[in-house]
Structure 1
């Protein structure tokens, strides 16, 4: 098995370091524009915290998926889901492969297989990762100032993760709580 050189390791980290600067559509509770790295990190934390609730799930694999899922955005930038086109998705897929090719062959094969599994959404782990990815975005929007929301997000907040969480009772409960928080936030804002 080929080992990664120190230079190769540092160079790869330099490429994905951009994720700390790539803004996302959302704003934090403190009014700071969220970045892709923060989103990926919190999605991974969610997976870890739910490990005892997600029976028959390889949570370590889900955490790896959560940490890596948006690395292509280091090259493409982030495009909100409601604006993303097939062309954008294809460009991001190419960016992921370009980044992963700089890894040793065995690590390239391992991470490429992980991305294929995420894209196929056929395994329990891939479905959990995708649900957490969507839930994290909904939770973050609920934690942000509603004045930063676009009009379409008032409804999107209630539906964005709904399909993805089906079949996972803890994730379904989180989705229901998110909807309650969204509705409360909208109601409070409409009274201002």
Structure 2
């Protein structure tokens, strides 16, 4: 039996694979999205994913029965593939644009250096998120849309930014859970306030 404070050394090839993956995932820090921060600079995918995780953490008490660790893992993994091919702005997405297939292929490329068990785990998380069939994946998808909409409402976006886009964006995903539906009311109100400026 090993002591948690003194685990056995990790195998060198396992360690190297994990570090290679982490270094490749770092590209999310430079992967820019179409929205801007409240300070006016382009937001990165890493920043979006961070605030998405913070967002679900803030609602932990309202999500009794939800596997919070699973939910946070889904939020962390959901956009990792963008480290390879970048972000497709929400305003440019369509159901038949091949985005999901491209992002899954990018995830496979990104995860290629990982040990088999971790590669399977991370791909299973991405597939769960994409399928949006489990309670946690439904929430992750809904919160993902809400975080994007909140960023649009607070960001110093370009002059021709279409704030009305928010009002129809992600309705299917946010309608699937009572909490995301309730939050949506406030987000829509923030969008209307922004449009009135």
Fold match by TM threshold 0.5: yes
For 2:149, which of 138, 147, 157 is the aligned residue? Answer: 138
Distance 1:148 1:23, change over 3 A: farther
Deviation (angstroms), 1:117 = 1.1
Runs of 4 or more consecutive aligned structure 1 residues displaced over 4 Å after TM superposition: 146-149
Residue 103 (structure 2) aligns with:
92
Any unmatched runs of 5+ in structure 1?
A: none
For 1:158, which of 167, 173, 176 is the aligned residue? Answer: 167
Q: Is the 8 A contact 1:71 1:96 kept in 2?
A: yes
Q: Is the 8 A contact 2:142 2:176 kept in 1?
A: no
Distance 1:154 1:115, change over 3 A: same
Determine whether 1:119 maps to 2:141. no
Determine whether 1:172 maps to 2:189. no
Distance 1:147 1:21, change over 3 A: closer
**Cα distance in 1, alignment partners of residues 35 and 187 from structure 2:** 16
Determine whether 1:63 maps to 2:72. yes
Determine whether 1:51 maps to 2:51. no
With structure 1 as the length reference, what TM-score do the two structures score?
0.88
Bigger Cα displacement from structure 2, 133-142 vs 90-99: 90-99
1:20-77: CA deviation from partner (whole Å, max 9, x where unpaired):
0010010000001000000011101111111111122111111011111111110101
Deviation (angstroms), 1:167 = 4.2
Q: Is the 8 A contact 1:161 1:175 kept in 2?
A: no
For 2:14, which of 5, 14, 23 is the aligned residue? Answer: 5
Give the paired residue count.
185
Deviation (angstroms), 1:149 = 5.2
Residue 74 (structure 1) aligns with:
83
For 2:33, which of 21, 24, 35 is the aligned residue? Answer: 24
**Cα RMSD between the aligned structures?**
1.8
**Cα distance in 1, alignment partners of residues 160 and 37 from structure 2:** 12
Determine whether 1:106 maps to 2:103. no
Deviation (angstroms), 1:147 = 4.4
Any unmatched runs of 5+ in structure 2?
A: 1-9
**Cα distance in 2, alignment partners of residues 131 and 101 from structure 1:** 29
Q: Is the 8 A contact 1:31 1:144 kept in 2?
A: yes
Deviation (angstroms), 1:17 = 0.5
